Chain A
Amino acid sequence: MKELKRITLSVFLITCTTVLVSAQSITGLDVMKNVYNRPTGPAITSEMTMTLTNSRGSTRERTIRQYLKKYGDDEKKIMFFTSPADVKNTSFMDWSYGDSGKDDDMWIYLPALKKVKRISSENKSDYFMGSDFTYDDLGDRKPEDDTHRIIGEETINGKDCYVIESTPKDKNSMYSKTITWVVKNSWVGTKKEFYDEDGDLLKTLTIHSVDKVNGYWVILDMEMENVQKNHTTRLQFKDVQIGKSINDNFFTERQMKKGVR
């Protein structure tokens, strides 16, 4: 009997220790690294529809064909605007780097000028094409750029999530902090709140649809709401292809001028 009690106590202690160690072994940084390092495929192509809705309920829609290819921690992306007519054939290219000390390289092609122009990467906190997404929001923010901590665990739409508070290390950041709900195991963010410099809620990002394409989790529908301006931007993706071969020569001035072919 004493032996049974001893074994039971040992199992209990081992279980408790395992749970404690397990709970403590994952940090906010680990979670965000898992999100950042989640396999997304070596190359992705998709068609994105961007719908802007202002406080009066009127909407504007833009469609963009985009191509992305990863080179280790670096990636190259090219976007072709296909509608409306006044921005059609405009293209935008971004080369981003895993090295946190290296700024992106960006170019834009304006068909009216028939010229590819290098543009400043300092505009990453500017809003992309009048949307509620900044250039930074649309890119993969490096985990090392923020200080992260787990502030709780919640269940959203039946999925267990870590709740991570991230504070930018750069004091000039437009956000004082962000809070991200990350689905356990899949490491896909399902909701994110952005707080302004005064600490007030500025924007909420909601992921409406996530699916697996070729074995990779892909966000297919998301919506950013600027709660202070009562303005929303919805990004919906279709014709998502992962693993489709994209030639390295695609991410060049030649293709920016040539457009989608």
Chain B
Amino acid sequence: MKNVKYIVILLILMVTTGLMNVSAQDSIDFGGYVRNYTGILFNNLQDGTSDNDFASVQNTFDLKADYSGDRADLHAEGYVYADGDTTLSAGIRELYFDLYSDSLDLRIGKQQIIWGKGDGVFITDVVSPKDMSKFIIPDFDEIRLGVTALKADYYLGNFALEGVWIPVFTPNILPAQDSLWAVSMDFPTGVEPSISTSLPSTTLENSEGFAKVSYMGSAFDFELMGGTMFDDAPTGHVTPVNLASTPKLVDVTKEYQRLLMGGGSFSTEIAGVVMKGEGAYYSGKAFNMSPDALLADLGSGGDGTIEKDAIHYMAGADYVIAGVNLGVQFIQEYILDYDSKINNDEFNSTMTFLTAKKFMDDSLELKFFGYYGLNNEDALLRFSAGYSVTEGMLLTAGVDIFIGDTGYFGQYDANDLGYIQAKYSF
């Protein structure tokens, strides 16, 4: 309710202030797209089950409106998703107001804030939370959620200083428990959890703040950033209810851990190869314990979580050869002062691979993006072919293949899917 009030107030402010600046030269620019996405689960086809052959049929209408004034802009982007024949959902992707001066920009409202140099990974890109309800299958501009924030950018030559204040915490959207992409916490055999979620209250001390210094130059680009924030993904804090009963009853409260983050990223070109790196240090990150360690921890008054510092980093390279874009990244998460009771591995390593080439006046693009998890030897392989039929009309066909039994990607081994998508941009 508070969010609704906030948005209404913001809307009134934006419209009022915007109208005050309207001049004859100002204009509103509309754009957006209409899209049909039809995905088919290969597993269901093989099983011959009829009801769930189509994993996803979704029609989308996305509308953007931009009002450009002399020193001010308004931007609004809304969407309507029609999933199957029954579910209709609508929302605001972004709604913000820009104020410009010679060296200072202010952006107020719901906005996506993107940091970092990595592709397809979130290391320092921690300001905007993510919609993980369909894992990482949707486009990234749809995975990223807008946050209601005040953002200020001060520019000095090729340097930029950015400050972000987020008064209201927005968490990641997690997959529904009946979803193909549901992720469940690991519990020991014989334990029945009752799960609830606790969001931080909307107080000043619970607001989030971020700062970033960035530089773009001939030799290299870099970003240095830090933040006091909540982890956008929750940790399950366990309270025993009756451990003597059968099954053992526990309450699990998903809480969002307050933590500090500091990091940086860079990119430079060496002999035609774009080298890039990104790293972040998280202080006070909470981890869940493994099922084997949980009951003993509860018995000694613990809540099934352990707080540790962690490092998350990436090193990568992009190259173009004969018109083929190639990219490779090595990503690693490292939990410092590791405790073997933690459910996560001490080191978790992933590699990504990109190959893309355009043909026929750039109207046809063949693309492959793959993730390979080194710990569990699991993978997500994404192949697509996109053909621009006419100006603005794009047809895409692709397959997403999950490999492995466990791990971040392997857990979805049954979710291999193929899809076709028609998208008209206007």
User: A residues near B, CB below 8 A?
Assistant: 52, 54, 60-61, 83-86, 88, 95, 103, 105, 107, 112-123, 126-127, 129-131, 231, 248-249, 252-254, 261
Chain B residues 178 to 229 lying within 8 A of chain A, measured CB to CB, are 214, 216, 218, 221
With an 8 Å Cβ cutoff, the count of chain B residues facing the other chain is 45
Query: Which residues from B are CB-within-8-Å of A88?
Result: 31, 425
A92 to chain B, nearest CB (A): 13
Query: Which residues from B are CB-within-8-Å of A130?
Result: 358, 360-363
Given A113-B114, A123-B323, A86-B158 contact (CB < 8 Å) = no
Q: Are B218 and A95 in contact (CB under 8 A)?
A: yes
Q: Are A127 and B425 in contact (CB under 8 A)?
A: no
Q: Which residue of B lies closest to A86 (CB)?
A: B425
Query: Which residues from A are CB-within-8-Å of B68?
Result: 261
Q: Are A118 and B274 in contact (CB under 8 A)?
A: yes
- Tell me which of B114, B323, B358, B363 contacts A60 (CB under 8 A): B363
Q: Are A249 and B157 in contact (CB under 8 A)?
A: yes
**Subset of 16 A-B contacts with CB under 8 Å:** A84-B425, A85-B33, A85-B391, A88-B425, A95-B218, A103-B272, A115-B114, A116-B216, A117-B267, A118-B274, A120-B273, A248-B157, A249-B157, A252-B158, A252-B216, A253-B160
Query: Which residues from B are CB-within-8-Å of A61?
Result: 391
B133 at the interface (CB under 8 A from A): no
Query: Which residues from A are CB-within-8-Å of B392?
Result: 84-86
Given A85-B31, A86-B394, A88-B31, A112-B140 contact (CB < 8 Å) = yes
Query: Which residues from B are CB-within-8-Å of A86?
Result: 388, 391-392, 394, 425
Query: Which residues from A are CB-within-8-Å of B425?
Result: 84-86, 88
**Other A-B pairs, 14, CB within 8 Å; known A86-B425, A112-B139:** A60-B363, A83-B391, A84-B391, A85-B31, A114-B141, A119-B320, A120-B269, A120-B274, A120-B319, A120-B320, A123-B323, A130-B360, A130-B363, A254-B105
B268 at the interface (CB under 8 A from A): yes
Give chain B's interface secondary structure class: strand
Q: Are B216 and A85 in contact (CB under 8 A)?
A: no
Given A85-B31, A85-B425, A119-B216 contact (CB < 8 Å) = no
Query: Which residues from B are CB-within-8-Å of A105?
Result: 218, 269
B112 at the interface (CB under 8 A from A): yes
Query: Which residues from B are CB-within-8-Å of A114?
Result: 112, 114, 141, 144
B114 to chain A, nearest CB (A): 4
Query: Which residues from B are CB-within-8-Å of A248?
Result: 157
Give chain A's interface secondary structure class: mixed
Q: Are A85 and B426 in contact (CB under 8 A)?
A: yes
B318 at the interface (CB under 8 A from A): yes
Query: Which residues from A are CB-within-8-Å of B214?
Result: 253
B347 at the interface (CB under 8 A from A): no
Q: Which residue of B lies closest to A253 (CB)?
A: B216
Given A86-B394, A253-B214, A54-B269 contact (CB < 8 Å) = no
A256 to chain B, nearest CB (A): 9
What is the bound-complex CA distance between A114 and B116, given in angstroms? 11
A239 to chain B, nearest CB (A): 16
B18 to chain A, nearest CB (A): 15
A153 to chain B, nearest CB (A): 37
Q: Which residue of B lies closest to A131 (CB)?
A: B361
What is the bound-complex CA distance between A123 and B214, given in angstroms? 26
Q: Are A254 and B155 in contact (CB under 8 A)?
A: yes
What is the bound-complex CA distance between A188 and B321, given in angstroms? 33
B251 at the interface (CB under 8 A from A): no
Chain B residues 102 to 116 lying within 8 A of chain A, measured CB to CB, are 103, 105, 112, 114, 116
A65 to chain B, nearest CB (A): 14
Query: Which residues from B are CB-within-8-Å of A121?
Result: 269, 272
0/1 per residue, B69-93, Cβ < 8 Å to A? 0000000000000000000000000
Query: Which residues from A are CB-within-8-Å of B139?
Result: 112
Q: Are A113 and B140 in contact (CB under 8 A)?
A: yes
What is the bound-complex CA distance between A117 and B214, given in angstroms? 13
Query: Which residues from B are CB-within-8-Å of A54?
Result: 360-361
- Tell me which of B105, B268, B361 contacts A52 (CB under 8 A): B361
0/1 per residue, B302-324, Cβ < 8 Å to A? 00000000000000001111010
Q: Which residue of A lies closest to B358 (CB)?
A: A130
